[in-house]
C-alpha cells in the first residue's frame, strides 16, 4: 500500500487530495501508467508528465525513481512559491 497525494491542478483534475493505492509498480513511471489506465481523470492529469513534478516521501525526485520502500508519493505541477 502506498499513499498517493495530489496538489494544485493535479488534485483538481483527479478530484481527490490523496488516496491509498495497492500497487506493485516498481517505479514512479510504472505507477503513472497504472493510474492512467484506471480512469479518464487520471489520463487527463498525467497526459504530459513533463509538466509535473514528483516527490517520494517528501523529497523531489524523477519519474524513473524506484518505489521500493516508499510510503508516500506526491504529484504536483512546478512549484510557485516566493
Which residues are at the interface with another protein (CB under 8 A)? 5, 7-9, 11, 55, 58-60, 74, 76-82
In order of 4, 12, 80, 82, the CA distances from 25 in angstroms are: 13, 24, 30, 35
Minimum separation from the CB atom of position 2 to another protein (A): 16
Minimum separation from the CB atom of position 70 to another protein (A): 14
Cβ proximity to another protein, 5 vs 49, nearer residue? 5
DSSP symbols for 42-67: HHHHTS-GGG-EEEETTEEE-TT-B-
By the 8 A CB rule, do 45 and 6 touch?
A: yes
Cβ proximity to another protein, 8 vs 44, nearer residue? 8
Cβ proximity to another protein, 26 vs 44, nearer residue? 44
Amino acid at each position: 500500500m502506498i499513499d498517493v497525494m495530489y496538489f494544485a491542478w493535479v488534485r483538481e483534475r483527479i478530484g481527490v487530495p490523496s488516496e491509498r493505492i495497492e500497487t506493485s509498480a516498481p517505479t514512479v513511471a510504472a505507477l503513472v501508467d497504472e493510474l492512467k489506465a484506471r480512469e479518464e481523470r487520471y489520463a487527463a492529469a498525467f497526459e504530459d508528465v513533463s509538466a509535473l513534478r514528483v516527490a517520494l516521501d517528501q523529497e523531489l525526485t524523477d519519474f524513473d525513481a524506484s518505489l521500493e520502500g516508499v510510503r508516500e508519493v506526491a504529484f504536483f505541477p512546478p512549484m510557485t512559491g516566493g
